[in-house]
């Protein structure tokens, strides 16, 4: 009972907290290549780095992160800067995760585990958590720490503390806590307890050789440290904070590492898991509503400890050698997806000879304030090196050498780089728009959009309603007025401009189209049915009638034939009897044409039909058609 209350408590606490994004740190390991490989990446300051642009070696690409650790950064600096600050949250029942990402050989295991002389994140965090719980002096509360250690290999969860537990399930309880039923949990009271369990378990990890590294890990090693805080008096509340410390599998490209057969399959599984992780981090940092946790075992396991109220840090490990160029770029782009790249021009003081030909300490010549004042407009900022423009010989030499080296890249790698570049350019464009809009504004815009959608729905409903009313009114009128043509002022529009029943019967779409000519905003006056049927006279898109008679006014299809007939007769009467002045009152008939009409009828006798006008000089069937169209409505109404 007590446990139940406590879980609910912890859950409520976490629900109330605002969402925190995944912090991204990048660590550059020291130059280690024995051969003549060049350096292609270097730090700029405590948050940013630059890498040569493979497409144009006169340019560099600059990336900014929450933290950047250069090749001289110590294990302690990384730990105190990016990991230690999140540990205190575990003592109040919140979750956290730290994971090392990057290509094989770039320093993930060194960062997470380290060695006895340079202990990494895992031993430091365990030691400090033990100390913190010991030092906590809250009355009537006690702390306990347990550990579990699993490996995710080919989308299967294996228990490293008890290797016979293979393919363990991952479940979610009703309070949305993620758990692995059946996984071994060991209590650790001191650091030697931890050592005792951890060291043999580490040896159980699946490792295999690849071309890049002798002991390359191709599985995800997941260490779970649970901190439990239990109340010793009623109501015996219990808070649980989970810390995941993860050494991820290498992010390198299969083709480059020469993985074959089963290993290629393993890499495929690793990569799909990493790919999902990248999507999850991306979605979290963009504040997207759907996070694809369920798409891989790794992210499913991390669901309650990545995003939400959890505190997460991703340490992306990269190597400086050109040999790693492609994998470094891929890793940086993964990490940078969640970042905005600042717009900083390449420093005048930095020369290519310093930049790319030797292992160098990052120089910090650029003032940090730049980062705050420039617009975060691009994911990748490509900048021309001013120093190269000045072309000192040494720089050119360096650039030339570098060019040659990059030119020797495997063609398949170049092809992939081009694809990656294209995807990123497109994605960058989209994301920049999203990311450059502050969250609050985005929410307001979304709300507005939802409101307008609702309004549109409402208006559509109204329009439908009005259409039905119009049809009903029309049917009524059709019944009562079918034979007489009442041109009195009050009824003229109703009786004359409605859609002929015949055309509606043969073409509903056409009839509907005619009825819908009013814009939505015009449909607010529900009672004015006349207005809805007024714009009946619409020119049909059919140019010629099927009979082939060009002079058949195509717009007639939208008018009642008796109305048209009456109009024609009135016009014909005017043509045969009207004075020049009366003729000039017709649309499209000027002084010249009026005189011609009078002369023609005196010479040839009366017109037999309006279309006879086409015989006259300066007239044509087309002109007669438009003459009729222009006059028929006004003449029947007059």
Query: How is residue 8 written in tokens?
Result: 């609910």
Please give the structure tokens belonging to residue 279: 């999507």
> Which C-beta is closer to ligand ADP: that of 110 or that of 156?
110
Using the minimum distance from each CB to Mg ion, give the nearer residue, 109 or 631.
Answer: 109
**Candidate segments 104-112, 238-246, 339-347, 590-598, binder of Mg ion by CB under 5 A:** 104-112
CB of 207 vs ligand ADP, minimal distance in Å: 10
| 64 is an interface residue for Mg ion by CB under 5 A | no
Instruction: Provide DSSP, 316-332.
Output: EEE--BGGGHHHHHHHH
| Residue whose CB is less far from Mg ion, 309 or 317 | 317
Which of Mg ion, ligand ADP, none does residue 150 bind (CB under 5 to 8 Å by kind)? none
* Total number of residues shown for the chain: 638
Give 37-48 as a DSSP string: PPB-EEE-SSSE
CA atoms in the 13 A half-sphere facing the CB of 365: 10
Closer to ligand ADP by Cβ: residue 7 or 245: 245
The answer to whether residues 217 and 106 touch, using CB atoms and an 8 Å cutoff, is: no
How is residue 331 written in tokens?
A: 């890793």
Q: How far apart are CA 431 and CA 437, in angstroms?
A: 10
Structure tokens at 317: 């490990």
Which residue of this chain has its Cβ atom nearest to ligand ADP in the complex?
Answer: 107
Find the shortest distance in angstroms from Cβ 190 to ligand ADP: 27
d(CA 363, CA 230): 49
DSSP class of 563? H
Choose the one of ligand ADP, Mg ion, none that binds residue 428, judging by a C-beta under 5 to 8 angstroms depending on kind: none
- Minimum distance from CB of 107 to ligand ADP (Å)? 3
CB atoms within 10 A of CB 638: 9
Q: CB neighbours of 284 closer than 8 A, spacing ≥ 6?
A: 19, 21, 22, 291, 306, 307, 338
Specify whether the backbone of 409 is left (phi greater than 0), alpha (psi in -120 to 50) or beta: beta
* 228 contact choice in Mg ion, ligand ADP, none (CB below 5 to 8 Å, kind-dependent): none
SS3 state of residue 556 = helix
In this structure, are residues 24 and 319 in contact, taking their beta carbons and an 8 Å threshold?
Answer: no
Residue 362's binding partner among Mg ion, ligand ADP, none (Cβ under 5 to 8 angstroms by kind) is none
**Could you tell me if 314 and 281 are in contact, meaning their C-beta atoms sit under 8 angstroms apart?**
yes
Which CB atom, from 216 or from 322, has the smaller least distance to ligand ADP?
216
* Contact set with ligand ADP (CB under 6 A): 29-30, 32, 102, 104-110, 213, 216, 250, 317
Least separation, in Å, of the C-beta of 249 and ligand ADP? 9
Collapsing DSSP states into helix, strand and coil, what is residue 490? Answer: coil
Tell me how far CA of residue 18 lies from CA of 40, 106, 130, 339, 434, in angstroms.
39, 34, 28, 19, 20
Binding partner of 427, given ligand ADP, Mg ion, none, CB within 5-8 angstroms per partner class: none
Helix or strand run (H / E) with residue 372 = helix 369-373
The residue behind tokens 């009824």 is 491
Residue 217 vs 350, nearer CB to ligand ADP: 217
**Could you give the CA distance from residue 613 to residue 633 in angstroms, rounded to a whole number?**
19
Which entry of Mg ion, ligand ADP, none binds 114, CB below 5 to 8 A by partner kind?
A: none
For ligand ADP, the closer CB: 65 or 497: 65
Beta carbon of residue 104, minimum distance to Mg ion (angstroms, whole number) = 7
- Out of ligand ADP, Mg ion, none, what residue 538 binds, judged by CB under 5 to 8 A for its kind, is none
Q: Which CB, 218 or 300, lies closer to ligand ADP? A: 218
Task: Give the residue among 433, 487, 448 at the shortest CA–CA distance from 638.
Answer: 487
Tokens at 223, concatenated: 């260490």
Interaction partner, residue 273 (ligand ADP, Mg ion, none; CB < 5-8 Å by kind): none
Which C-beta is closer to ligand ADP: that of 216 or that of 276? 216
Residue 317, binding choice from ligand ADP, Mg ion, none, Cβ under 5 to 8 Å by partner class: ligand ADP
Q: Which positions from 191 through 230 interact with Mg ion, judged by CB under 5 A?
A: 217
Q: Which of the choices Mg ion, ligand ADP, none does residue 43 contact, using the CB cut-off of 5 to 8 A by kind?
A: none
Q: What minimum distance in Å lies between the beta carbon of 108 and Mg ion? A: 5
Q: Which of ligand ADP, Mg ion, none does residue 110 bind to, with CB < 5 to 8 Å depending on kind? A: ligand ADP
Site string for Mg ion, 106-125 (x = CB under 5 A): --xx----------------
Q: Which is nearer to ligand ADP, 32 or 92 (CB)?
A: 32
Residue closest to Mg ion, measured at CB: 109
Half-sphere exposure of 257 (CA within 13 A, CB side): 27
Question: Given the complex with Mg ion, which of 59 and 266 has the nearer CB atom?
Answer: 266
- Binder of residue 297, out of Mg ion, ligand ADP, none (CB less than 5 to 8 A by kind): none
Q: Is 497 helix (H, G, I), strand (E, B) or coil?
A: coil
Asked whether 26 and 68 are in contact (CB, 8 A), the reply is yes
The CA-based diameter of the chain, rounded to the nearest angstrom, is 125
Least distance (Å) between residue 155 CB and ligand ADP: 21
User: Which one of ligand ADP, Mg ion, none interacts with residue 213, CB within 5 to 8 A by kind?
Assistant: ligand ADP
Q: Which of 556, 584, 562 is nearest to 495 (CA)?
A: 562
CB of 213 to ligand ADP, least distance (A): 5
Least distance in Å: CB of 118 to ligand ADP?
7
Closest CB 208 distance from Mg ion, rounded Å: 12
Least distance to Mg ion, CB of residue 33, Å: 18
C-alpha–C-alpha distance, residues 49 and 328, integer Å: 12
Size of the residue set binding Mg ion (CB under 5 A): 3
Least Å from the CB of residue 77 to ligand ADP? 10
Q: Which is nearer to ligand ADP, 251 or 625 (CB)?
A: 251
Q: 473 phi and psi, to 5 degrees?
A: -60, -40
Q: How many Cα atoms are found within 13 Å in the side-chain-facing hemisphere of 573? A: 9
Q: Which is nearer to Mg ion, 150 or 291 (CB)?
A: 150
The C-alpha atoms of residue 287 and residue 328 are separated, in whole angstroms, by: 26
- CA 249/CA 273 separation, integer angstroms: 9
Which among Mg ion, ligand ADP, none contacts residue 30 (Cβ within 5 to 8 A by kind)? ligand ADP
CB of 407 to ligand ADP, least distance (A): 28
Work out what residue 516 binds among Mg ion, ligand ADP, none; the CB cut-off runs from 5 to 8 Å by kind. Answer: none
Instruction: Give the residue from 18, 22, 19, 83 showing the smallest Cα distance to 337.
Output: 22
Question: What phi and psi values does residue 72 have, to the nearest 5 degrees?
Answer: -105, 0
Q: For residues 29 and 381, which CB has a smaller minimum distance to ligand ADP in the complex?
A: 29
The residue among 217 and 387 lying less far from ligand ADP, judged by its C-beta, is: 217
CB of 247 to Mg ion, least distance (A): 6
Tally of CB atoms within 10 A around 169: 11
Least distance from Mg ion to the Cβ atom of residue 207, Å: 8
Query: Which residues here bind Mg ion, judged by CB under 5 A?
Result: 108-109, 217
């Amino acid at each position: 009972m007590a446990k139940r209350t406590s879980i609910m408590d912890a859950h409520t606490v976490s629900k109330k907290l605002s969402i925190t994004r995944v912090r991204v740190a990048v660590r550059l390991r020291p130059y280690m290549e024995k051969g003549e490989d060049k350096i292609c990446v270097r730090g700029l300051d405590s948050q940013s780095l630059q890498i040569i642009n493979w497409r144009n070696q006169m340019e560099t690409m600059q990336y900014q992160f929450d933290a950047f650790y250069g090749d001289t950064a110590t294990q302690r600096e990384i730990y105190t800067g990016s990991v230690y600050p999140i540990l205190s949250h575990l003592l109040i029942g919140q979750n956290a995760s730290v994971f090392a990402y990057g290509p094989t050989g770039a320093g993930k295991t060194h960062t997470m585990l380290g060695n006895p002389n340079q202990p990494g994140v895992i031993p430091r965090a365990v030691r400090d958590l033990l100390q913190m719980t010991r030092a906590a002096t809250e009355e009537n509360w006690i702390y306990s720490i347990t550990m579990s250690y699993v490996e995710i290999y080919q989308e299967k969860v294996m228990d490293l503390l008890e290797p016979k537990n293979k393919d363990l399930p991952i479940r979610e309880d009703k309070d949305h806590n993620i758990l692995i039923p059946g996984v071994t949990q060991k209590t650790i009271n001191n650091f030697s307890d931890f050592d005792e369990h951890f060291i043999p378990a580490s040896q159980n990890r699946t490792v295999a050789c690849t071309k890049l590294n002798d002991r390359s890990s191709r599985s995800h090693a997941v260490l779970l440290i649970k901190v439990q805080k239990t109340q010793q008096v009623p109501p015996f509340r219990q808070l649980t904070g989970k810390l995941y410390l993860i050494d991820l599998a290498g992010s390198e490209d299969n083709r480059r590492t020469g993985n074959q057969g089963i290993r290629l399959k393993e890499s495929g599984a690793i990569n799909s898991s990493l790919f999902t992780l990248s999507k999850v981090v991306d979605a979290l940092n963009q504040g997207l509503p759907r996070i694809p946790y369920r798409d891989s075992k790794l992210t499913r396991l991390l669901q309650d400890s990545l995003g939400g109220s959890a505190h997460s840090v991703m340490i992306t490990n990269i190597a400086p050698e050109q040999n790693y160029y492609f994998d470094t770029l891929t890793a940086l782009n993964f990490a940078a997806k969640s970042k905005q790249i600042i717009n900083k021009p390449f420093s005048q003081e930095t020369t290519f000879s310093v930049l790319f030909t030797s292992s160098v300490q990052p120089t910090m010549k650029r003032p940090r304030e730049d980062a705050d004042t420039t617009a975060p407009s691009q994911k990748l900022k490509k900048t021309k090196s001013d120093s190269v423009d000045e072309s000192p010989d040494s720089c050119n030499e360096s650039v030339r050498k570098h060019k040659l080296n990059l030119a020797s890249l495997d063609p398949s790698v170049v092809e992939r780089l081009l694809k990656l570049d294209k995807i990123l350019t497109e994605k960058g464009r989209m994301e920049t728009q999203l990311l450059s809009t502050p969250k609050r504004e985005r929410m307001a815009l979304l709300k507005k959009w939802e409101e307008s959608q609702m309004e549109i729905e409402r208006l559509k409903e109204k329009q439908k309603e009005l259409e039905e009313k119009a049809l009903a009114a029309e049917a009524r009128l059709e019944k009562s007025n079918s034979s007489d043509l009442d041109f009195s002022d009050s009824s003229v529009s109703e009786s004359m401009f409605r859609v002929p029943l015949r055309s509606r019967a043969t073409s509903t779409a056409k009839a509907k189209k005619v009825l819908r000519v009013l814009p939505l905003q015009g449909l607010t006056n529900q009672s004015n049915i006349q207005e809805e049927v007024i714009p009946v006279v619409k020119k049909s898109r059919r140019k010629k009638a099927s009979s082939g008679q060009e002079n058949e006014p195509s717009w007639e299809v939208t008018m009642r034939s008796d109305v048209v007939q009456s109009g024609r007769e009135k016009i014909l009467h005017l043509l045969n009897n009207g004075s020049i002045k009366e003729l000039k009152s017709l649309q499209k008939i000027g002084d010249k044409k009026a005189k011609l009409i009078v002369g023609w009828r005196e010479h040839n006798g009366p017109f037999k039909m309006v279309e006879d006008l086409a015989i006259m000089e300066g007239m044509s069937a087309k002109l007669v058609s438009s003459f009729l169209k222009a006059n028929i409505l006004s003449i029947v109404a007059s």
